[in-house]
Chain A
Amino acid sequence: MFQNLTERLQAVFSNLTGKGRLSDADVDAAMREIRMALLEADVNFKVVKEFVARVRERAVGAEVHSSLTPGQAVIRIVDEELTALLGGTDARLVFSGRIPGVVMLVGLQGSGKTTASAKLANLLRKQGKRPMLVACDVYRPAAIDQLEALGRELDIPVHRGEGTDAVAIAKAGVRAAIDSLRDVVVIDTAGRLHVDEEMMDEVARIKEAVRPDQVLMVIDAMTGQDAVNAATAFAERVDFDAVIVTKLDGDARGGAALSVKSVTGKPIMYAGVGEKLDALEQFHPDRMARRILGMGDMMTLIEKAVETADAEAAAEMEERVRTATFTFDDFLQQLQQVKKMGGLGSMLKMMPGAGQMKGLDTEDVDERQLDRVAAIIQSMTAEERANPRLLNGSRRERIARGAGVTVFDVNQVIKQFEQARKLMKQFSKGGGKGRRKGRFGLPGGMQSPF
């Protein structure tokens, strides 16, 4: 088995116990390992070069989080960069609104287009659409029969044309969909090599003829270095919109996904994760990043370490509350932590009991209001933040002007602050049964101030 990045970096940093900044030599050693790990994951060597250069830039002199080893710190940077490079989670099919919507699948031979077409039609139906499949692979023996059999299994109609003119079949398929009141068409095309001029011309002509809303390129997760050549050629000829990565239920690291994304800029939309017809999932860049480098476990550890560090900060804060030194600075820090954790809504849900609290609609908490509170606190002087008693009328007016809000807003925040302080004091004295401190240091009973 290949060594994953975690093991590699651990070996590099094993004799490095000190914390603080990474030295040049540390970074060099780490970059060598990252390069190896990415190449073993089938990321294209040119993409690897660029990627490593970018990670190096961030890693040199990077401040290492106090709770992480240098190796963990580097892995964290790699994880963030990989996830960013793989794109957001929100790549969705976009339809122009014309009925029927048309999606067309293209790709190399054996990448899994026919199965993916059926899976996609199935998924679209689950989303309330009425799909029709169109079989345009007139070359591979029994390819049309295959799609037809899958359609039968799913009880989704399949248009199969006469003859060997894939362009005509595609067009007729769209017309058939209109006639039978189907609102979306999924076109399966023949597998083709990107260097096959005639076949690339055919796929371009199919696209021209049916003007699909979306063209998806299907890529096998096991593909090696050549993925970039194929993807670049398909991008040039049919300008596909997004990618489906198939066979991710295997143990291929799937670096091809990264290569394709980084050379074509096209997002990855779906992942095929099995032979069953419901095994098509929305693509998750973070999971993919971890898979490529085999660092899933390590990331969990790193998250825990960072979380623990946050917990340490929280414990420190609790201590300050107990000694009645909870200030606006602390309050601000808490809010920022809340934001970092994915917003108040998701945070409150994690807090014991918050879900059952009356009048607290966790979904409705507006993130912008958190920003407003932050702005108000930031408009206070250091003195005012440390000692809220100083906040008289004229100071409140000045703060309101500074934060671009009304004095009423400022008063509200101060009131919330005082409430929070009171609550924290109560809890720190032991609190009642079941009133445990929230996971991230906020008191369990703290109400949304809004």
Chain B
Amino acid sequence: MSTPWYRRISEGLTKSRERLGEQLNVIVGRSPDVDEDFWENLEDALIGSDVGVTAVTEIVDRLRDTATRKALPDARAVLDHLAEEIAAEFPTSAPDPFSAAPVVVLMVGVNGTGKTTSVGKIASELATSGKRVLLGSGDTYRAAAVEQLDIWADRAGVPVVRRDRGTDPAAVAFDTVAEANRTTPDVTLIDTAGRLHTSADLMRELQKVKRVVERESSAPVRTVLVLDATTGQNGLTQAREFDAALGLDALVLTKLDGTAKGGIAIAIARELGIPIVRIGVGEGVDDLKPFDALDYARALIGGE
């Protein structure tokens, strides 16, 4: 079996044409001709990666233009160029909310995207690098969510502020920030309950949590959306709604260890300018990687 596609992101790719050429087999096929088939396959590949038909049409149209203008010699040159274009969609030099200190980060997102798992992995990453971390179990709604975060806190060896199921999440946030103000950890991560962005009540609840955190915290507050890479076009709506309600600083893109490519993150970057700061590539504590836009773009175009 070939290497899973995401490995190509995390292992990093040599920038040589030859190496990239290997990845591009699916699209280039046997003939490196830039013909109508090539463009159609390219469009299909991008749509199949959930980039979204509108963004794909724009990207491909622009690429066709450039290919003619710059007289790019073959398919490889075109794809090389495309990878750079896609990478350029992501904001450069985006600040990493997890590397600031002190900072309080709210982790938000729809149900099941990997919020709690990501909190656990990030806590572990930071703790390993010598930072002091505090967790807050803001999901007091879902059954056993508090217990789940407890286990992750244990794995990372970091303290957690927990309250019983059913407690007002704003109260847990308040207590977590109070603890942070007292013990001054470098990074405070607050897990929140998954919620659909269409639920006005639950979005208001989250706004209240953020208000409380901002009011109480002596450290700056950041909000990170956890997005599942298997999500399709609804991912853009999710990002819009969470951004409108809370103001998003960054994305964590999870579950890139499957075959889903998470292309909707490109559409999100284009429209909202939100950077990806970590990717999730498994369920283990170490399955978290930094995000490199160019490696990601190359792996994406590379197909299977």
Contacts and interface: CB of A to CB of B under 8 A. Distances in A.
Given A193-B257, A195-B4, A146 B144 contact: yes
Contacts of B49: 225
Given A40-B53, A145-B144, A255-B232, A111 B112 contact: yes
A45 B50 CA distance: 10
A249 B195 CA distance: 11
Contacts of B221: none
B215 interface: no
B143 A146 contact: yes
B33 interface: no
Contacts of A256: 232
A110 B112 contact: yes
A130 interface: no
B227 to A, nearest CB: 10
A194 B259 CA distance: 9
A255 B235 CA distance: 14
Nearest to A37: B53
Given A142-B144, A146-B143, A225-B49, A252 B232 contact: yes
A42 B234 contact: yes
Contacts of B260: 224-226, 229
B143 A2 contact: no
A140 B148 contact: yes
B232 A224 contact: yes
A370 interface: no
Contacts of A112: 111-112
A150 interface: yes
The SS class assigned to the A binding surface is loop
A45 B47 contact: yes
B258 A193 contact: yes
B110 interface: yes
A42 B112 CA distance: 19
Interface string A126-170: 000000000000011111011111100100000000000000000
B167 interface: no
Interface string B180-196: 00000000000000001
A314 interface: no
A148 B144 CA distance: 9
**What range describes how many residues of A lie at the interface?**
35 or more
A42 B232 contact: yes
**What range describes how many residues of B lie at the interface?**
35 or more
B230 A226 contact: yes
Q: Which of A142, A147, A220 has the most CB of B within 10 A?
A: A142
A42 B199 CA distance: 22
Contacts of B48: 44-45, 225
Contacts of B257: 193, 195
A198 to B, nearest CB: 12
A2 to B, nearest CB: 7
A187 interface: no
A39 B48 CA distance: 9
A188 to B, nearest CB: 12
Contacts of B44: 45
B152 A250 contact: no
Nearest to A190: B283
Contact of B52 (A40, A110, A226): A40
Interface in A224-268: 224-227, 229-230, 247, 249-253, 255-256
B99 interface: no
B15 interface: no
A36 interface: yes
B258 A252 contact: no
Contacts of B150: 142
A223 interface: yes
Contacts of A149: 143-144, 165
A351 B173 CA distance: 59
A247 B52 contact: no
B197 interface: yes
A23 interface: no
Contacts of B114: 109-110
Q: Which of B54, B234, B238 has the most CB of A within 10 A?
A: B234
A141 B232 contact: no
B63 to A, nearest CB: 18
Nearest to A144: B144
Contacts of B151: 141-142
Contacts of B141: 275
B53 A247 contact: no
B144 A253 contact: no
Contacts of A142: 144-145, 147-148, 150-151
Contacts of A150: 143
A184 interface: no
Given A36-B53, A110-B111, A141-B148, A222 B258 contact: no
Contacts of A251: 196-198, 234, 237
Given A40-B52, A225-B48, A108 B144 contact: no
B144 to A, nearest CB: 4
B144 A225 contact: no
A40 B53 CA distance: 7
B232 A225 contact: yes
Nearest to B197: A250
B76 interface: no
A226 B50 CA distance: 8
Interface in B227-256: 228, 230-235, 237-238, 255
Contact of B230 (A36, A44, A224, A275): A224
Contact of A225 (B50, B112, B142, B148): B50
17 contacts: A42-B50, A108-B255, A109-B283, A110-B113, A112-B112, A140-B148, A141-B147, A143-B148, A146-B142, A146-B145, A195-B4, A222-B235, A224-B231, A247-B196, A250-B110, A251-B237, A275-B141
Interface of B: 4, 44, 47-50, 52-54, 110-114, 120, 141-145, 147-148, 150-152, 165, 196-199, 228, 230-235, 237-238, 255, 257-261, 263-264, 283
Given A39-B52, A249-B196, A250-B110, 5 more contacts: A109-B114, A110-B114, A141-B147, A141-B152, A247-B111
The 10 A-B residue pairs whose C-beta atoms are closest, nearest first, are A224-B232, A110-B112, A42-B232, A149-B143, A141-B151, A145-B144, A146-B144, A226-B260, A142-B148, A252-B234
